Amino acid sequence: MTRPVRIAPSILSADFARLGEEVRAIDGAGCDWVHIDVMDGHFVPNLTIGPMVIRALRPHSTKPFDVHLMIEPVQPYLAEYAQAGADIITLHAEADRHLDRALQVIRGLGKKAGVSLNPATPETVLEYVLDRLDLILVMSVNPGFGGQGFLSSQIEKIRRIRAMIGDRDIALQVDGGINPETARLVVDAGADVLVAGSAVFRGDDYSATIAALRPPYE
């Protein structure tokens, strides 16, 4: 089965002084989703944005808001992010010991539910929650900061997760060090959603960069 590859630029690498304009720019440049990295300075060693910023950005695009929660604890905040305008809410398997319950909460809020795995986390943690999932996010860098180099160790994990998914309607997303060269590797392994921050926002032509992340590759 041929799966369309969707591009979700991460606004972690955008100009924070003009976030609304940046969201409109990637929307107009052809992105499929807007990826929003939420960091708490506890689960990861960085602080970023919260639900108030997401709520402020929501009028700037009709594209799905793909909200990646790198926070711990996570369950007390799920409703707040849902109400702020998230369409997809992804939490880390490492951040919640009651993963099944958290996924039920997200779906109960009417949102798509995702699970993210750090590089050292095996895919086996997904086995008993696959039917609760709309998205699996493989981190191909250690979470917390943009601009890191791609970890090739994650390619085989992506292949194994694609096999686990089978014919389920679950998106397989990869985040970290994605550029036109690494995009080919992860798509060949089975990914169908690519998160790219620095690769998109460091240039002036967002349309050209987003197009270069999609197959067919040169």
Residue-range domain boundaries for the chain: 6-212
The tokens describing 60, both together, are 């700037």
- At residue 148 the predicted structure's pLDDT band, cuts being 50, 70 and 90, is confident
CB-side neighbour CA atoms (13 Å) of 158: 27
Annotated catalytic residue 175: yes
Which of 37, 96, 134, 192 is flagged as catalytic? 37
Annotated catalytic residue 96: no
- Cβ contacts of 147 within 8 Å, gap of 6 or more: 13, 197, 198
Residue pLDDT, tens place only, 166-217:
999 999 999 999 999 999 999 999 999 999 999 999 999 999 999 999 999 9
**What pLDDT does 3 receive?**
84
Asked: is 6-212 a CATH 3.20.10.10 domain? The reply is: no
Residue pLDDT, tens place only, 16-46:
999 999 999 999 999 999 999 999 999 999 9
* Rg (alpha carbons) of the chain, rounded to whole number: 16
Residue pLDDT, tens place only, 61-102:
999 999 999 999 999 999 999 999 999 999 999 999 999 999
**What pLDDT does 1 receive?**
53
Q: DSSP letter at 109?
A: T
Which of 96, 134, 175, 192 is flagged as catalytic? 175
Q: How far are the Cα atoms of 115, 124, 141, 156 from residue 151, in angstroms, in the given order?
A: 19, 19, 6, 11
